[in-house]
Structures are given as C-alpha cells and as structure tokens.
Amino acid sequence: GAGVSQSPRYKVAKRGQDVALRCDPISGHVSLFWYQQALGQGPEFLTYFQNEAQLDKSGLPSDRFFAERPEGSVSTLKIQRTQQEDSAVYLCASSWTGTSSNQPQHFGDGTRLSIL
C-alpha cells in the first residue's frame, strides 16, 4: 500500500492497561507525526519525529504517553496505565520532510481507542 498504515484500527482496553499503537509511514517519508482526535474536535498534535529523532513531544498529555521510532520508519505510540480520558482516535501522519517546506502531511485512518 502506498499510504500511511495504522494498526490496530480499533482497540478496546480496560482502565489501567497499557496499549501500543503502530504506524507505518509512507516509504521514504522523513517526518512522522502523532495526533489525538477527540469526538467533535480537530486533530491535536502529540509528537513529531524526523527520522529516528523525536524533535517535539510538547503535545503529549502526560508521562504515561511515550512514542518511539527506533529505525526512522515504523513508529509506536504507547500509553501506560490508560485512563478513560485517553479514549480518542489516534492519527499518524507522515511527510517528505519537516524542515520548513511546503509538504502536506498524509494521514493514516487512525486507531480508535476506547477505554472502559
């Protein structure tokens, strides 16, 4: 597939469990972004990678959220000790480069996370 791929599409977890969400960006894309989209809201920035380097994690809501991209390709967003307010759609996006260029971000279809 040529697009951004996210898995799983849906995840249901009990409060307190840990979850891991995966993102496969478009091949060759340098930049990778994670967003959180609550119901009725626009996507909100969580964190940004350029290759394997996490350049901005200012949007992560708490230290329970952790993201990595160890080889500069696939990324994983991990949420520890999940809370009900973590329920949202988590979107991943990638682009050719993140350095001051007019390159739009291409989004995956997201993972819908529901915390019971």
Partner 1 sequence: DQQVKQNSPSLSVQEGRISILNCDYTNSMFDYFLWYKKYPAEGPTFLISISSIKDKNEDGRFTVFLNKSAKHLSLHIVPSQPGDSAVYFCAASALNRDDKIIFGKGTRLHILP
Which residues make up the interface to partner 1 (CB under 8 A)?
4, 6, 31, 33, 35, 40-45, 48, 55-56, 59, 91, 93, 95, 98-102, 104-110
**What's the helix, strand, coil split of the chain in %, to 5?**
5, 45, 50
Q: State the Cα–Cα distance between residues 39 and 87, nearest whole angstrom.
A: 9
Q: State the Cα–Cα distance between residues 13 and 61, nearest whole angstrom.
A: 19
In the bound state with partner 1, the residue whose beta carbon lies nearer, of 40 and 70, is: 40
Q: Please identify which residue in the block is written with the tokens 């994670």.
A: 34
CB of 42 to partner 1, least distance (A): 3
Asked if residue 113 lies in contact with residue 11, where contact means CB atoms within 8 angstroms, the answer is yes
In the bound state with partner 1, the residue whose beta carbon lies nearer, of 17 and 50, is: 50
In the bound state with partner 1, the residue whose beta carbon lies nearer, of 14 and 107, is: 107
CB of 16 to partner 1, least distance (A): 28
